Amino acid sequence: FESRFSIPHLTDIFEDAATLPSTFCLRMRSPTEDFADGYPSDEKWHGYINNNDRVLLKVIKFSSPASAGAECIDPDCSWVEQWVHRAGPREKIYFKPEEVKAAIVTCGGLCPGLNDVIRQIVITLEIYGVKKIAGIPFGYRGFADKDLREIPLPRNVVQNAHLSGGSLLGVSRGGPSVSDIVDSMEERGINMLFVLGGNGTHAGANAIHNECRKRRLTVAVVGVPKTIDNDILLMDKTFGFDTAVEEAQRAINSAYIEAHSAYRGIGIVKLMGRSSGFIAMHASLASGQVDICLIPEVSFNLRGPHGVLDHLKYILGKKGSAVVCVAEGAGQDFLQETKAKDASGNIVLGDIGVYLQQEIKRYFNEMGTPADVKYIDPTYMIRAVRANASDGILCAVLGQNAVHGAFAGYSGITVGISNTHYVYLPIPEVISYPRVVDPNSRMWHRCLTSTGQPDFL
């Protein structure tokens, strides 16, 4: 069973190394020398994974080749199978632990579980016998900013890190160029880099991997996807998502209590989700207190006979109060484009929550029956909490597998859980575009059944 993707291995990088000038080979070991099959791993990991082990990402049996459509490569076949590389410890490892200097960096926004992943990476590196482990402060910025010193990460520094949210290393957006980052890595002698971040951070990690490749450096760059929005392709879920959905319940419940206790009360809760409405959809489904859920993937009208406002009027008449849950990226076409960008170049979205509050107030005022509209934006409260038990476990397994992947000699990869198994995927495959809610999916329809909302078009 061949993998759907081939994941980059450091030996591939040095195939033509013999033809290179010796300066380029400075820190290179020839694949024909002692690491041809890798060094033996001292540590017993309760079972090793073979490099050829595969995980079934997806299997579908279609009723006919026709219904399989483009998914079927073979016109006579009605099966689709996709296999990917299995994560885990290898019996033969690519790095001698005593020669490793590992660095960990966290970029982008906060997400529950960052400290759990950092902690587990450090613990696993120590088990392999790595002595030099450094934290890069405040994201990629920490590679270039002369005022920022790298943070030594012995076990005692990370031991209780998971008990609080945030990132003990700090995060940031923007920062130095890829070539400056790799210069700094060379100076510091870093040959394993663990990068925790979202799509931007992963684009950076892949660029760092390619730059190291270009410079013929034996450096393993391994990502751990951090997206609270759960918007990464091919993965069942990303860490922090579960915690976010759970924490969002408190905001929704407060909005409900406020709305329910007010005369003609309406509560609006804005949740994270720039391009994907997974948090809003799951939180609405879980809470059972949401009357209207609005996500970026599904367009809606506000005014008009089938609009959100008319439906709110209907709910107020029927129940006396209403709760709206909106993802931050929803309804952006109603808002003036801000044209503003953050330090990483991401477009700053308009505030759909404030807009909804104003429009709802105006609508009911115009009718002479004012509504009491309250708006809650719990974003920063949710991002900063510590991971719940389920995310804590996910973080631990991802952190361990990130280290196993680097020791196995992979670079330019990221770790994830696909179809309930832990896997390694090439970075470009998972960040080519964000995973979004399928408006025709059963899950979205379950959400609609739960809220009772119609199509707002």
Determine, following the binding rule CB under 5 A, whether residue 276 of this chain makes contact with Mg ion. no
Q: How many Cβ atoms from other residues are within 10 Å of residue 99's Cβ? A: 13
CB 304, CB 456: distance < 8 Å: no
Helix (H, G, I), strand (E, B) or coil at 87: coil
Determine, following the binding rule CB under 6 A, whether residue 447 of this chain makes contact with ligand ATP. no
CB 372, CB 264: distance < 8 Å: yes
CB 49 to ligand ATP: min, Å? 28
CB 153, CB 113: distance < 8 Å: no
Q: Which residue from 8, 97, 139, 240 is in contact with ligand ATP, where contact means CB under 6 A?
A: 139
Determine, following the binding rule CB under 6 A, whether residue 49 of this chain makes contact with ligand ATP. no
Determine, following the binding rule CB under 5 A, whether residue 199 of this chain makes contact with Mg ion. yes
- When the beta carbons of 68 and 171 are compared against Mg ion, the nearer one is 171
Q: How many Cβ atoms from other residues are within 10 Å of residue 340's Cβ? A: 10
CB 332 to Mg ion: min, Å? 16
Contact range with ligand ATP by CB under 6 A, out of 196-204, 365-373, 374-382, 395-403: 196-204
Q: Are strands 265-271 and 372-376 parallel, antiparallel or unpaired?
A: parallel
Q: How far apart are CA 17 and CA 11, in angstroms?
A: 10
| 314: Cβ contacts below 8 Å, ≥ 6 apart | none
Give the closest residue to 367 by CA, choosing from 378, 375, 359: 359
- By CB under 6 A, how many residues form the interface with ligand ATP? 20
Tracing tokens 């994270």 back to the chain, one arrives at 272
What does 152 bind: Mg ion, ligand ATP, none (CB cut-off 5 to 8 Å by kind)? none
Determine, following the binding rule CB under 6 A, whether residue 199 of this chain makes contact with ligand ATP. yes
Q: Which residue from 104, 207, 403, 437 is in contact with ligand ATP, where contact means CB under 6 A?
A: 207
Contact range with Mg ion by CB under 5 A, out of 43-51, 199-207, 283-291, 408-416: 199-207
Q: Which residue from 200, 265, 399, 434 is in contact with Mg ion, where contact means CB under 5 A?
A: 200
Helix (H, G, I), strand (E, B) or coil at 302: coil
The token pair that represents 230 in the structure block: 């759960």
Q: Which residue from 139, 198, 225, 412 is in contact with Mg ion, where contact means CB under 5 A?
A: 198
Residues that bind Mg ion (CB under 5 A): 198-200
Residues that bind ligand ATP (CB under 6 A): 107-109, 139-140, 173-175, 178, 197-201, 203-204, 207, 227, 344, 346
